[in-house]
Amino acid sequence: MTEKVVPLTDLEIASKATMKAIWEIAEKAGIPEEAVEPYGRFKAKIDVSKLPRDSANGKVVLVTAISPTPAGEGKSTVTVGLADALSKLGKKTMIALREPSLGPVMGMKGGATGGGYAQVLPMEEINLHFNGDIHAITTANNALSALIDNHLHQGNALQIDPRRITWKRVLDMNDRALRNITIGLGGPTQGVPRQDGFDITVASEIMAIFCLAISLDDLKERISRIVIGYTYSKEAVTVSDLGVQGALALLLKEAFKPNLVQTIEGTPALIHGGPFANIAHGCNSLIATNTARSLADIVVTEAGFGSDLGAEKFMNIKARQGGFAPNAVVLVATVRALKMHGGVPKGKLAGENVEAVMNGMENLAKHIETILAFGVKPVVALNRFITDSPAELEAIMEWCKTNKVRIALTDVWEHGGEGGVALAQEVLSLLNEPNNFAPLYRVEQSVSDKVGSIVQKVYGGSGVVFTDQALKNLQEIEKNGWDMLPICMAKTQYSFSDNPKLIGRPEGFAITVREIIPKLGAGFLVCLTGDIMTMPGLPKTPAALNMDIDSEGNAIGLM
Amino acid sequence: MTEKVVPLTDLEIASKATMKAIWEIAEKAGIPEEAVEPYGRFKAKIDVSKLPRDSANGKVVLVTAISPTPAGEGKSTVTVGLADALSKLGKKTMIALREPSLGPVMGMKGGATGGGYAQVLPMEEINLHFNGDIHAITTANNALSALIDNHLHQGNALQIDPRRITWKRVLDMNDRALRNITIGLGGPTQGVPRQDGFDITVASEIMAIFCLAISLDDLKERISRIVIGYTYSKEAVTVSDLGVQGALALLLKEAFKPNLVQTIEGTPALIHGGPFANIAHGCNSLIATNTARSLADIVVTEAGFGSDLGAEKFMNIKARQGGFAPNAVVLVATVRALKMHGGVPKGKLAGENVEAVMNGMENLAKHIETILAFGVKPVVALNRFITDSPAELEAIMEWCKTNKVRIALTDVWEHGGEGGVALAQEVLSLLNEPNNFAPLYRVEQSVSDKVGSIVQKVYGGSGVVFTDQALKNLQEIEKNGWDMLPICMAKTQYSFSDNPKLIGRPEGFAITVREIIPKLGAGFLVCLTGDIMTMPGLPKTPAALNMDIDSEGNAIGLM
């Protein structure tokens, strides 16, 4: 008789873990009791105004990854495991992560709390509503929409052109049927008819503002600068013209406090703000990062998807504005994902295939180049799976040795912090080296120069094509003097190019910018490339179909 | 020199109040520590599975009111003040209230936490997002919508007719432009085009289910019964056909725990669930009421708007299903509101006008009759304003004496519980009397008989007109065997009739039922009457325009 060992799911591991009271975690993090506002027993909001006013000077370790594949890379898992390993080595460490969006949770990707023994807890609650921040952002966004449409309906004193309203409604949901809608139908008592559409909340400007504001005053000031559309005479209309920045900031008051939780091993983690990295800037809130930097010596944070998306924006947008440098970058890769970049389809990943892995290394190589282009040194975290063969792992290690790239094997899914010690040691040695971080472009450059530098130095593309629409947007942006802002690229995560099918390391491609949207509150210009959508759709079999709850309130089927 | 005393606003009084730690309030309420999940320092969710399994047998005092006018009646204020007065008299008392919707908060009415020295705290947080329950309900509702539209898009295996989808999206917002919309535009990759519309969350069936379910299993079971629309062959399609009841119930898991807060005087209050009383059934959750009844000897609760709306549904829907009787009913009236029912417009309320007050008494008289029709005895709470003249007050007292109606003056806005002692004593004496509560109709009666009995016995109308649309709905309902359910009337709050202009005590009117919507999860049939809308609009000058937040995070302009 043979026994088959069924491995525990992430949810099962999370459910079995014993959490410490959040007070204890706060104390460990050096957060005074009066700053802690518990949300249940294992989550808290932190009132940063009650923290000791130390300067924020913890070092920042940014975790990014190769271009994602359906095989999965485990970036959040490595982020958590690395922090646990650093804690284990006696370093005062804190994690800063994004909050999961319900879109992917109910849709395809599942949650965003790490996996195995490298998770943040309570996994269920973080993945479902958490402390309500994203809902508050949705509400502030849609309150603005309702106030705009009410303004049109009640006489339109500002002479807003209903055809030129750029502010869209949002839901934290994958809901393609809401991408293009018409509203205000039904006659004169039912509002003014116009085209509209919903984005997912995590792509909204309010989310971006939330993640870049450094204080409540800054939050309100940024909200007041949002351009919601244009008048019949094509003048920009802002939130301050409507006079509702106070109400919108008020709706974000509690949400704006960073959320404290813990890893399975008890490392404190701040999880706050959650913009997607493909259609938004992809990093947790600056206020959480700053708070973590004021409390810990090392802050481990992540930016979404590959280094071409989250990390690029982390460096060109967030670090530039925050005035800090990422002191080290961890680049997560897996054998399976590299095989896919090497041309193997998902169904055929089983079995050793060193050649495919080596072919896929070109994707990793490009990400390494990208990070170096920012003047920061990377270390590759080779996130081990039980199916990886020694020869495959060895080939990657050897490649890194030959190319003088730091690399460490990690095994944090199975072993938690213990499985991340080798990586932690590499990171610590990197932190002792000088780095020459600088954003890739100056904001004073022209928009096309800025986009061009991202396309060439980050994506490895050959050029940029602006559609007529984008050129019209650009004209408007220059006319209004908004061109001196950083760029937030919206691009598929699957490829360096704007075509999701070009995996590996495509070359000689041009990026098509089809629309440029000024986000003056966030303080950047969004460039929509290729077919990228700001409202995802659900897959044929949504994750929701496997979810359930038992009579005692335990979650089933959360990933 | 004369000094002008500017009275404090509700927000100022709330901000100056000293709250007790929520642990202390829980202890006072007899809630064991392990059942308390703090949300900040002054709010908590209660895990009812960890409460002692005593039977729920606290007596229930229902607070209702005369037909509302723009003058305001102060129903929540009296509810809070009465409970504080009962506490002061040594009675173990708990409050059960609805959660405020952001629609009115940002729109016109303001918050719903009482006023003056009779408030529940923390006022700001309860009025803004509270513990996120309504957002969770919005999310569950809209996840279902997204799953329905995704089903259409991915091949429509169930053959759902897009023209016959009755499930609507929701937002907790007053947003008239979303009443009638078209979605799924933009071509074959953007969903299936169809008509849709948004209701306000507090009118949704998920909210009704949330407020009537007695356990998580019941919650899930009710969700599975929701009819979302019909197939091309006109068969009903339910949530269980889609197989997503588990995911939707999971989204409501934390929200389903009642929220504990306190009054300014420290009386424990459960605030949970918040359906509007005009377009929904208007009472807080049954689980909160049952929890309060298991902890306290007296539970003071309210139902929305006048007795024709919230109280009627409290008795015919909630109490019927909950298997309890309201042991006493408090009917709130004010001199100013009675004057308006007596024909005085809002601008001319100043100055004594006994005749107008007496003319307006017909409205109060009808509400008294309505309550008596349920076999329950009322006591009138005459909620005193500083502008009321002694003669006006005396005339009302005298009328009640003549008509053998219990009445007590209350002054809780200014004096808190102390101002409600006279009312509390009347209530206590009522609680010692037998009552003969019975719902007005049996569910086995025909739909038109059930509606007819509400119209005649509660509204004082002469009959019911069903439009062709309503008759078609009725046919469908009878064909499917759904007619044995209670009725949830959707009617203007301003009049006993379906015409908001007919204030006072209209007679000889018929009620027009324009649509009947089966809500099998909630377990009732919604009858839309007159022009009632399930998505309100914002007024010309929304309350949001006066809201703000200062640098320290203090709210400004919340009402």
Task: Give me the residues of chain A with pLDDT under 50, please.
Answer: 1-2
Q: What is the pLDDT of residues A173-226, one digit of tens each?
A: 999 999 999 999 999 999 999 999 999 999 999 999 999 999 999 999 999 999
Restricting to A residues 143-162, those with a Cβ less than 8 Å away from any Cβ of B are 143, 145-147, 149-150, 152-155
Whether the Cβ atoms of residue B138 and residue B207 lie closer than 8 Å to each other:
no
The tokens for B399 are: 């009328």
Residue B57 to residue A112: CA distance in whole angstroms: 44
Restricting to B residues 484-543, those with a Cβ less than 8 Å away from any Cβ of A are 537-538, 540, 542
- List, in sequence order, every residue forming a beta bridge with A170; answer none if it has no partner: A199
Chain B residue numbers with beta carbons less than 8 Å from the beta carbon of A182 are: 181-182, 185
Residues A280, A283, A285, CA angle at the centre, nearest 5°? 110
| Residue numbering of the annotated binding site of A for ATP | 69-76
CATH number of A447-529: 3.10.410.10
The answer to whether B72 is a known ligand-binding residue is yes
Measured in angstroms, the CA of B24 and the nearest CA of chain A are apart by 15
Contact A37 B37 (CB under 8 A): no
Q: Is A189 on the interface with B (CB under 8 A)?
A: yes
Restricting to B residues 211-230, those with a Cβ less than 8 Å away from any Cβ of A are 215-217, 220
Of B132, B172, B181, the CB nearest to A181: B181
| Cβ-based neighbour number of residue A1 at 10 Å | 2
Chain B residue numbers with beta carbons less than 8 Å from the beta carbon of A145 are: 175
What is the 3-state secondary structure of B176-191? HHHCCEEECCCCCCCC
Measured in angstroms, the CA of A501 and the nearest CA of chain B are apart by 18
Residue A144 to residue B222: CA distance in whole angstroms: 34
Contact B150 A538 (CB under 8 A): yes
Of B135, B184, B216, the CB nearest to A553: B216
Active site residues per annotation of A: 75, 77, 98, 109, 277, 305, 385, 413
Active site residues per annotation of B: 75, 77, 98, 109, 277, 305, 385, 413
Chain B residue numbers with beta carbons less than 8 Å from the beta carbon of A254 are: 125, 128-129
Q: What is the pLDDT of residues A476-533, one digit of tens each?
A: 999 999 999 999 999 999 999 999 999 999 999 999 999 999 999 999 999 999 999 9
- What is the phi/psi pair of residue B532, to 5°? -55, 135
Restricting to A residues 16-75, those with a Cβ less than 8 Å away from any Cβ of B are 37-41, 45, 49
Angstrom CA distances, A231 to A146, A159, A552, stand at 18, 5, 55
Of A102, A150, A552, the CB nearest to B139: A102
Cα A465 to chain centroid distance, Å, stands at 26
Residue B173 to residue B164: CA distance in whole angstroms: 25
Residue A97 to residue A284: CA distance in whole angstroms: 6
Q: Is B201 on the interface with A (CB under 8 A)?
A: no
Question: For B245, which residue in chain A has the nearest alpha carbon?
Answer: A548
List average pLDDT for each run of 10 residues in chain B, which is 559 residues long. Answer: 69 92 97 96 96 86 94 90 98 97 85 91 94 98 98 98 98 98 97 98 97 97 98 97 98 98 98 94 96 97 95 97 94 96 92 96 97 96 94 97 97 96 98 93 97 97 97 96 97 95 95 97 97 94 94 90
- Mutation test of the interface with chain A: which of B153, B190, B196, B199, choosing the one with the most A Cβ atoms within 10 A? B190
Question: For B557, which residue in chain A has the nearest alpha carbon?
Answer: A247
Chain B residue numbers with beta carbons less than 8 Å from the beta carbon of A160 are: none
Of A49, A243, A549, the CB nearest to B250: A549
What interface predicted TM-score (ipTM) does this complex get?
0.96
The answer to whether B162 is a known ligand-binding residue is no
Residue B436 to residue B446: CA distance in whole angstroms: 24
- List, in sequence order, every residue forming a beta bridge with A65; answer none if it has no partner: A306, A332
Question: For A142, which residue in chain B has the nearest alpha carbon?
Answer: B173
Angstrom CA distances, B350 to A21, A213, B346, B356, B389, stand at 57, 48, 9, 12, 10
Residue A18 to residue B430: CA distance in whole angstroms: 51
| Cβ-based neighbour number of residue B468 at 10 Å | 8
Q: Which fold has domain A133-251?
A: Domain 2, N(10)-formyltetrahydrofolate synthetase (3.30.1510)
Specify the CATH class of B10-132+255-431 in words: alpha beta
DSSP conformation class of A39:
B
Question: For B216, which residue in chain A has the nearest alpha carbon?
Answer: A551
Query: Nearest to residue B237, comparing CAs of B182, B171, B157, B179?
Result: B157
Contact B184 A175 (CB under 8 A): no
| Cβ-based neighbour number of residue B469 at 10 Å | 13
Provide the sign of the torsion angle of the four alpha carbons A365, A367, A372, A376, taken in this order. Answer: negative
Of A102, A175, A243, the CB nearest to B149: A175
Question: For B186, which residue in chain A has the nearest alpha carbon?
Answer: A180
Contact B544 A125 (CB under 8 A): no
DSSP string computed for B368-391: HHHHHHTT--EEEEEE--TT--HH
Contact A247 B106 (CB under 8 A): yes
Query: Nearest to residue A542, comparing CAs of B205, B149, B163?
Result: B149
Q: What is the largest CA-CA distance in chain B?
A: 81
- Mutation test of the interface with chain B: which of A39, A141, A535, choosing the one with the most B Cβ atoms within 10 A? A39
Provide the sign of the torsion angle of the four alpha carbons A455, A460, A462, A467, taken in this order. Answer: negative
Residue B59 to residue B282: CA distance in whole angstroms: 20
Which sequence spans correspond to the domains of chain B?
10-132+255-431, 133-251, 447-529
- Number of helices (H), then strands (E), belonging to chain B: the values are 20, 25
Whether the Cβ atoms of residue B387 and residue B7 lie closer than 8 Å to each other:
no
**Amino acid making up residue A237:** V
Residues B454, B460, B461, CA angle at the centre, nearest 5°? 85
Chain B residue numbers with beta carbons less than 8 Å from the beta carbon of A184 are: 176-177, 180-181
The answer to whether B512 is a known ligand-binding residue is no
pLDDT score of B324: 92
Q: Is B462 on the interface with A (CB under 8 A)?
A: no
pLDDT score of B1: 44
Chain A residue numbers with beta carbons less than 8 Å from the beta carbon of B255 are: 129
Residue B459 to residue B475: CA distance in whole angstroms: 25
Question: What is the pTM (predicted TM-score) of this model?
Answer: 0.97
Q: Is B176 on the interface with A (CB under 8 A)?
A: yes
pLDDT score of B7: 79
**Do the domains spanning B133-251 and B447-529 agree at the CATH topology level?**
no
* Residues 6 or more apart in contact with residue A303 via CB below 8 angstroms: A62, A63, A64, A277, A282, A283, A309, A310, A311, A313, A314, A318
Residue A323 to residue A336: CA distance in whole angstroms: 37
Of B125, B180, B254, the CB nearest to A254: B125
Q: Is A244 on the interface with B (CB under 8 A)?
A: yes
- Mutation test of the interface with chain B: which of A126, A178, A240, choosing the one with the most B Cβ atoms within 10 A? A178
Question: For A174, which residue in chain B has the nearest alpha carbon?
Answer: B146
pLDDT score of A110: 63
Query: Nearest to residue B59, comparing CAs of B409, B423, B435?
Result: B435
Residue A43 to residue A37: CA distance in whole angstroms: 9
The answer to whether B70 is a known ligand-binding residue is yes
Residue B521 to residue B281: CA distance in whole angstroms: 13
Chain B residue numbers with beta carbons less than 8 Å from the beta carbon of A253 are: 124, 128, 549, 553, 555
Contact A139 B173 (CB under 8 A): yes
